[in-house]
Structure 1
Amino acid sequence: MTSPSPTSSAPGPGAEAPLTVADVAELAARRLPADVLDFVNGGSGDESVQAANRAALDGVRLVPRVLVGTDEASTSGRLVRSAAGMPLAVAPMAYQRLLHPEGELASARAARAVDVPFVVSTLSSYSVEEIAAVGGTVWFQLYWLRDRDAVLDLVCRAEKAGCEALVVTVDVPLMGRRLRDVRNGFSLPPQVTAANLGPAPDTAAHRREDGRSAVATHTAQAFDPALSWEGLAWLRERTSLPLLVKGVLDPRDAVRAVDAGADGVIVSNHGGRQFAAAVPSVTALPRVVEAVGGRCAVLLDSGVRTGADVLRALALGADGALCGRPLLWGLAMDGEAGARHVLELLRDELRESLLLAGCPDLAAARRLEPVVV
């Protein structure tokens, strides 16, 4: 398996730019090696959760307002404690050098240009220090490692690098069985490493075996499946950063997270890559919003593909959303320019959706009436 070369396959001069995220996905599919495309697009089990995420979002319809007396709509606001040009953050995604040699550096520059938070993955292929040096708003996503001293070291590094929030992913006691990767015997090329976990390139993630995902083998060795509420409380005591808990679907867990000191919860089924029978994130969202009762921020993750999806999340009570795979497709299409194009598409679609729904700002969007059909 090889990662793509720097040569772009984006439309040349004079060609039409992709008009939708789906267009970007199609261009990325032409660009990427088949096993890398499977790694990005694949889900766990029969992958039905991915389809359910999309169907559930499409089933949320909004009742627009009229005669609001404005021809402008502002997408700007705050996401947790960070200023943002729109209520969207780039979701944490591992090993982005698989998509483009500049990987997370290119994605972070795109996020900076569009003024949205970029969430650095524990498994990023550039270090948190390198990514934070790009500038803009950076959050750090934490996987719970078997070595608790290593967990604390990552947190301290994130703080020192200037990250504005800490995102703890709680839905990976083990990696979901992703059959595309198993069938491909997927492994990382030598130049792609988990840069935050040390310099050694020769890890289990690089050792190919037929009928096994090397990435799953590596995470099983590195991650502690026994993370509990005690661990979350331990973490809360050791950082002053805003703490978000990612991977919450049950409102009871959302309440426990707030009680443990979380500043936000991210309603997520990991983009369909973990529990193969999980409820769609947007279906779980309203009950989580109701349960926390305004005591913390609530963000939606999984399946977001359009600006209208962000508007749907706001109308259902969320403070914003995270977007994942589309950024990777943009990165594969044209590096930083491709990732930026995706974010600009989402921002422009959100602004248009706000105007068409009769919303001059994000506060008005949260007053829209959602109807699930």
Structure 2
Amino acid sequence: MALHLQQGRRARVLTLALLLAAVLLGALGAAVGSTGVERLWQLVDDPIAWQIVRDIRLPRTTGAWLAGALLGLAGAVAQGLFRNPLADPWLLGSASGAGLGVALALGAIGGSPAAAAWGVRLGLTGAAFAGAVAAVLLTLTLARGAQHTLRLLLAGVIVGMVLGAIKDLFTLSSADILQALVVFMLGNTALVGWNACAIMAVALAGCLIAARLLAPVLDGLALGEATAASLGLPLPAMRAALVAVLSLATGAAVAQTGLIAFVGLAAPHLVRSIVKTTHAGLLMLSAFMGGALLMAADLLARWLIAPQELPVGVLTAVLGGGYLLFLMHKRSRGGGR
């Protein structure tokens, strides 16, 4: 009982810490630009500078938190659904589907470099989301539904490889789209505006509510298929609902920011290393952790080689991969003792 109370207290402290980190990182995100760190109170008297903060930096920073939260939530759902701590949001082929959708859209518009234009941006966003959803539906078709986790996982791997190969072949035949496609594949928060933030906020709210309702299913699955079934849980329908949450969260994030690696994989790991909780708490904390991680990565991407920027997806891959390698090394040393 005392341990349960201690873990509950630790979960509340972690929640407050992550929310405070989001506020502080948001303030830094509004102050960091191509010229370095600026003082926000000095920007209020400069209408042009304030417009840059209001229309570019604030939506970009907010969008980074929302996309990170969606990926963190999707990662926690994937790891619970597949009962594998190495599962990530891309397991159902959504990344390859989104990449193929963007490649086809770029080919249709002639590989225009004006990706920031509203019409083109909306086209790429819709193509990425449609491609991600189509890939998940294809995975579900090949796996004959979501009843068998292993079959679903294998189908996702196959779909991801096939769609990725088709995207590469299409790119080779239309080399003029390569530069714009690389920007999407490396992940980028620079083009996120308030409209994109609104879309991701609605998706995040819906996914959090659905995931919270489905958390007991993940708790049951953690005890094994037979135990979950003995609890009277309608596993086929609830698995399908979890796949829908995973797909919507992943698709909404990737459509707005491109492919950002390791956030969905690392966020649940970080939460579990700090606090032991049920999936109801893990899902929410993973979302908050993912948001803070991507906000921090976005700040580093803007600041490290200013006035130029690093692709935020590259930075998250390096930092996330380094963290997981450290974690593996630590566990292997512990197991060796």
TM-score by length of 1: 0.30
Higher relative strand content: 1
- Greater relative contact order: 1 or 2 (C-alpha under 8 angstroms, separation 6 or more)? 2
Higher relative helix content: 2
